[in-house]
Structure formats: C-alpha cells, structure tokens
Structure 1
Amino acid sequence: MKYHESNLKTAAAGEPLDHRQVIACLLSRQPPQLVDVAIDLWERLAAGLVVIIGNEGFDALYDRSLHLAGEGFPWLTPGESQTGSKARFERLRSGLLGQDSDQAGNATVLLLATFIRVLVTLIGHPLTTNILRAAWGDAYEAAALEVSQCPKK
C-alpha cells in the first residue's frame, strides 16, 4: 500500500524528520488492519498528551486538526466532543471504515500530520518528537530509522 507522498522530504543530517513519512510507514506495516492501527496510534498519542494538557486541551487540538484536515477530506469533521480514549475516536473509526484503504490511509496520514504540525507550532519540534517517541515507542523509532535511511526524493 502506497500513500500520497508528494512534497515529502526524508530526514537528512540536521533536518527534522518528516512525521508524515513516519506515519505512512507505521500504517503500511499492517495494511489489512489500517483502521485499527490508525486508532491505536491516536489512542496512544492521546494517552500521552492528556496527562500533560488535559482532556480539554487534547480535544481542542484534535478538533482543530479535524477542521484543517477536513478541507482535503470533507468527511473528517469535528463532531460532538467525547472525552475518553475509546469514545473520542469512534467517529474517526466509523469515517475511516467508510473509505477505501488508500483514502483511509491518506486521511490518517494527513490528520495525524496536521495534529503534529499544530503541536510543533505550540511546543516545538524536539519536544513533539519526544512525545511521539514516548507514545508510540519502538514502532516510532523503527519507522523513523527506516524513513531517515530512504534516499532523498
């Protein structure tokens, strides 16, 4: 499964890693379970951030990301806020399941990348990367290493 990668750059010495490529790499490891993997990434990220910024802070960032990503995928729209890891992402799960795998993958990459971009704007790239590493663990490290070793496009 290949996700849309136009205008993506791989990490080179001194350049921040492009999180879109890392997300695409994480999703491509288990294509049949794409939606489950996507929701797992969201739940793990939420669990790590909620302890720092609270449910309301996470929900604000998530809703903003849905709004921004919804320009490319109109079915990604903020709904009624539902606090709690499981309830928060049920609408997203339902939307992803209603798409073909390429659309669901592209939407997931865009939504997570948008969320991360907003977070980077607020707290900076190094701290955001540390949060992602803590939330996604070894899977993030392996995907980041794989992406950093890809030839530049």
Structure 2
Amino acid sequence: MKKIIFLLIATSLFFSSCGSSKRSKSFDSAKKTSVHKKSNKKIKSIISYAKTFNGTKYKYGGTTRRGMDCSGLIYTSFKKENVPLPRTSRSMASKGKPVSLKRISPGDLLFFRTNKNKKVINHVGLVVASGKNIQFIHASVSKGVTISSLNERYWNSCFVGARRIL
C-alpha cells in the first residue's frame, strides 16, 4: 500500500513539473508577440510619417519640409521613432538584415545604384506596400518625395537589394 501511495505522489510530481516548462514556453511566445506588435506599431508610424512629406521638393542634404533628399527622408522618419540610422543611403545599406524580394514587407528599405558610371549605392526608398507590386516612398530629383513601384522599369533596373531594420 505504501508503495502505491509513493508511486502516485512521485507520478503527480513528475507531471506537475512538466507543466511548468509549458508555461515558460507560452510566456516566451507571448513576449515575442509583444515585441512583434511593438515593431509593427513603429513601422506603421514610420511609414505614416514618411508619407506626410509626400510632395516635398527634392533638396540635396535636406531633412525638412522645405526640401528632402532620399536618405534624409528615411533618416528623419526612423529618427521620429527613435530608431537610429546613418545619414547616407550607402551607410544605411550596411544596417539591419538582408531580405529577399519574396519576403519584403512594409518598413523594409530598398537600395539602388542610379549612377551607371559608379558602382555604389546612392539611393534608398522605404517599402510602403508589398506583394506583386512593391511600392516605396523616396525622394527623387525630378518628383521630390513620391511613391513609386519596383515594377517600374527604371527602378527595377537600378535595384540592388533590400534590408530589414526592424
């Protein structure tokens, strides 16, 4: 009889200790979900803020509504959410993690080489829509701050790569 009681107690202790590992796992999952929600909120805010500059004229080195260049737009938009980035598109291209076009999502950065004589990144855009028609906001010399599509022949031919910052 004592052996049976001992086995029941030992078995119940074994099963109760197994249950605690499940709780920590779900806690970790909840923590990841919370972090994901925070970064989603930041991404939406960054995109929304960048869009407020739509129509702003192009100005080399500009970071205000009086004039904006491509990296200035990205730098300013991320800075508003306390996400530090370098000031130039070439330097931005080394931050975050590379991401394929198949996995691109809003908030990712697209990098371009628009000068065929130089093999350096000199343009950056912020993805605002993904899927078959990837759209990005950027500051172009001819149109100022505008939204373009990666499907456009010009931008597609200059595209170098994409990176995820958040």
TM-score (norm 2): 0.26
Q: Counting strand residues as a fraction of each chain, which structure ranks higher? A: 2
TM-score (norm 1): 0.27
Q: Counting helix residues as a fraction of each chain, which structure ranks higher? A: 1
In terms of Rg, which structure is larger? 2
